[in-house]
Amino acid sequence: MVSVVEELRAKLLELDARIKAAKAEIAIMDMQQAAVQTVIGVVDPEAISPVVPKARSSDRSTPGRRVTDLLKGRNVRGGVLEGVAYAKIRSGGNLSQ
């Protein structure tokens, strides 16, 4: 059983290394692509079409957006004020402690 776990950990490390190598290669290719586009733009300014920005995804996949969705319709300020009042009561009225 232990050998299986050790093999899986080794496989995980191998995959992690491969992913890091692939990301590094992609970063290099991105820089090369930008350099080639710059050269083309210098040689023939009309040859490069303007870069179209990516369309923003409408999914709520970022953590901040998910939290915002969870808090919709709630009185967040009231909850904060209640927390401050509770802390003030517990500290004897002096929050600077």
Q: Do both 28 and 72 map to the same domain?
A: no
Q: Do both 68 and 93 map to the same domain?
A: yes
Q: What is the DSSP letter of 47?
A: T
Q: Do both 59 and 86 map to the same domain?
A: yes
Q: Do both 40 and 59 map to the same domain?
A: no
Q: What is the tens place of the pLDDT at every residue in 25-79?
A: 999 999 999 999 888 888 887 876 655 556 666 665 677 777 777 777 777 777 7
58 lies in which domain range?
54-97
d(CA 18, CA 80) in angstroms, rounded, equals: 46
pLDDT bracket for residue 87 (50, 70, 90): confident
Q: Do both 60 and 94 map to the same domain?
A: yes
Q: Do both 43 and 67 map to the same domain?
A: no
Q: Do both 65 and 88 map to the same domain?
A: yes
Q: Do both 46 and 4 map to the same domain?
A: yes
Token representation of residue 53: 């920005």
Q: Do both 3 and 44 map to the same domain?
A: yes
d(CA 28, CA 7) in angstroms, rounded, equals: 32
Token representation of residue 3: 């050998």
pLDDT bracket for residue 94 (50, 70, 90): low
| Count of Cβ atoms closer than 10 Å to residue 48 Cβ | 15
Spatial CB neighbours of 32, under 8 Å, sequence gap ≥ 6:
none
Cβ 38 vs Cβ 49: under 8 Å: no
